[in-house]
Chains A and B, each alone.
Chain A
């Protein structure tokens, strides 16, 4: 009876499609429209003003710099942690649970927590002062110390969002039967060779998912940066926020939003292509 039942899947999926259309597609179309309009006419004026802004190139540079530093570091860290966690016999769940606690903390709260640590009168300075390493309150997060500000943001981002990569990679590692690594070991592969020749290639689908997720989120980075550096370290999402709220210019804010989306889509496309696994190579 395929003819009679063929509409059922569509009927069942309809509510979620409607939901998506109302709450995601509509705003998306509106935003794109907003970014491309001046008054009621189609125009690139918003993009022209966005690109001409003093902070624009800095925001682009900072966002890419942050992504290029944070995402690879997170993947390396998560790979190392995941490898260790999967080797644990006892207490694996507890360790995993502790490692994923930062996931439960909102990014703004995480940014504020790191601010409490790193600001002039923060715990770091108190400790350094007690140890006699500094004379008095020292600024780490100001415009005069761009590198320590950058370093602080990287640190906070690593702390906050490495766990999501970790969780994905652990799930991926658990899907790889241990016989592959064992067979490689029997035939003479040392640990590092096993990791590069067996584990990594078989982990590629999970790496791809983790990279897409993390990279897209990294291009949208905002709250942590805002909490730690305010506009001392302009990023794309931060500029969108400033234009939307401080300057009340929705068109330029929308242009920033569309730009972030375009970059994310491009990055995703690159990952899908570069890390594609041919179906016949799946276990």
Chain B
């Protein structure tokens, strides 16, 4: 059993607060992706879990044991570093074998496990090379293989696939997921690639400015963002936010009327580009198209609703032109209402 409990962890660097009371529970065998923009504190949180950095306050509990005061090697985890940290003076084989050597594993076992990890990451043919002779992506895979080789109960990965080409990344992603699921490894996976997070994770924790904004399954995060930031960060194109007047439970935009939560606050309509469809007769929410971008699988329309910028996704064969005004129909169940002052979602009526 290796669940991870992060309990109100705060990290200050001098006067700068990199983490503000982060709490997060990762269940045994669960795969949680930490998703957030650059500088939001993902690496800092990972380093605190690993014990490489000391939290200013708060606790880390792994498998029921408070590890807050334990040195990294006693926490029973493996880690893939953001900048790989592959040992330059050891061959790829010795790098991957390092953790096993530290556990004093038998040579035969070392060889078997190293070869297994290397095969998984497609680095078998570089085993006797030195890291300096590898490309960035190959080095990164050595770092992942080194972590997988020890078959850890807890695995921390800091953007482990960031340097691979799109095709290889997709393949590695699928294989990683299968291997980690089979081994029942509790995983925290840092990324700022949302499709990676969506595809891999059981749950996603979206971080912003040293806080966790929302934790939930990929679908929850996508469909019901808890804050304006999450809505805008997840999804491509990002969610549109349209300021509307809500009176007596109804918001009117053009000749469209949407039921809204009557709270008497300033609010914004959060609308995903793909949740709107072009109405056949031009009725509904008026959308002024400025640019049409054919993306192959769909058309990306950029324009404005009620004078506010918006992006809408339309079917690839839709007949629309720049400068045109079209009408959009939306399913009221699929929109998010955001309180303009707090930036948080308002519970649906």
Contacts and interface: CB of A to CB of B under 8 A. Distances in A.
Interface string B126-157: 00011011000000000000100010000000
Contacts of A177: 83, 85
Contacts of A277: 89
Given A281-B132, A282-B132, A186 B72 contact: yes
For chain B, give the interface size range.
20 to 34
A198 B87 contact: yes
B50 interface: yes
Contacts of A202: 88-89
B139 to A, nearest CB: 12
Among A185, A187, A283, chain B packs the most CB atoms within 10 A around the CB of A187
For chain A, give the interface size range.
20 to 34
A-side binding surface: helix, strand, loop or mixed?
Answer: helix
A183 B73 contact: no
A189 interface: yes
Nearest to A181: B85
B89 A187 contact: no
A201 B89 contact: yes
B150 A183 contact: no
Interface in B79-103: 79, 81, 83, 85, 87-89, 98-99, 102-103
A180 B73 CA distance: 14
A190 B73 contact: yes
Nearest to A200: B89
Contacts of A187: 73, 78, 98-99, 102, 146, 150
Contacts of A43: none
Contact of B99 (A188, A190, A280): A188
Nearest to B134: A280
B77 interface: yes
A179 interface: yes
A185 B53 CA distance: 13
Contacts of B50: 186
A279 to B, nearest CB: 8
Contacts of B129: 280
Contacts of B85: 177, 179-180, 182-183
Contacts of B133: 280
Contacts of A280: 129-130, 132-133
A281 B81 CA distance: 20
Contacts of B98: 184, 187, 189
Given A179-B83, A280-B132, A281-B132, A186 B52 contact: yes
B71 interface: yes
A179 B81 contact: yes
Contacts of B73: 185-190
A186 B79 contact: yes
A193 interface: yes
Interface string A246-283: 00000000000000000000000000000001111111
Contacts of A279: 132
B89 A185 contact: no
B130 A186 contact: no
B94 to A, nearest CB: 10
Contact of A186 (B77, B88, B89, B132): B77
A189 B101 CA distance: 9
Contact of A282 (B78, B83, B88): B88
A19 B73 CA distance: 57
Given A202-B89, A281-B89, A185 B78 contact: no
A2 to B, nearest CB: 30
Given A186-B72, A186-B78, A281 B88 contact: yes
Contacts of B52: 182, 185-186
B102 A183 contact: no
Interface of A: 177, 179-180, 182-190, 193, 198, 201-202, 277-283
25 contacts: A177-B83, A179-B81, A179-B83, A180-B85, A182-B52, A183-B85, A183-B146, A184-B102, A186-B52, A186-B73, A186-B78, A187-B73, A187-B99, A187-B102, A187-B146, A187-B150, A189-B102, A193-B102, A198-B87, A278-B130, A280-B132, A281-B88, A281-B89, A281-B132, A282-B132
Q: Top 5 A-B pairs ranked by shortest CB distance?
A: A188-B102, A179-B85, A187-B99, A183-B85, A280-B130
Given A182-B72, A186-B72, A187-B150, 17 more contacts: A177-B85, A179-B83, A184-B98, A186-B78, A186-B79, A187-B78, A187-B98, A188-B73, A189-B73, A189-B98, A190-B73, A201-B89, A277-B89, A279-B132, A280-B133, A281-B132, A282-B88
Interface of B: 50, 52, 71-73, 77-79, 81, 83, 85, 87-89, 98-99, 102-103, 129-130, 132-133, 146, 150
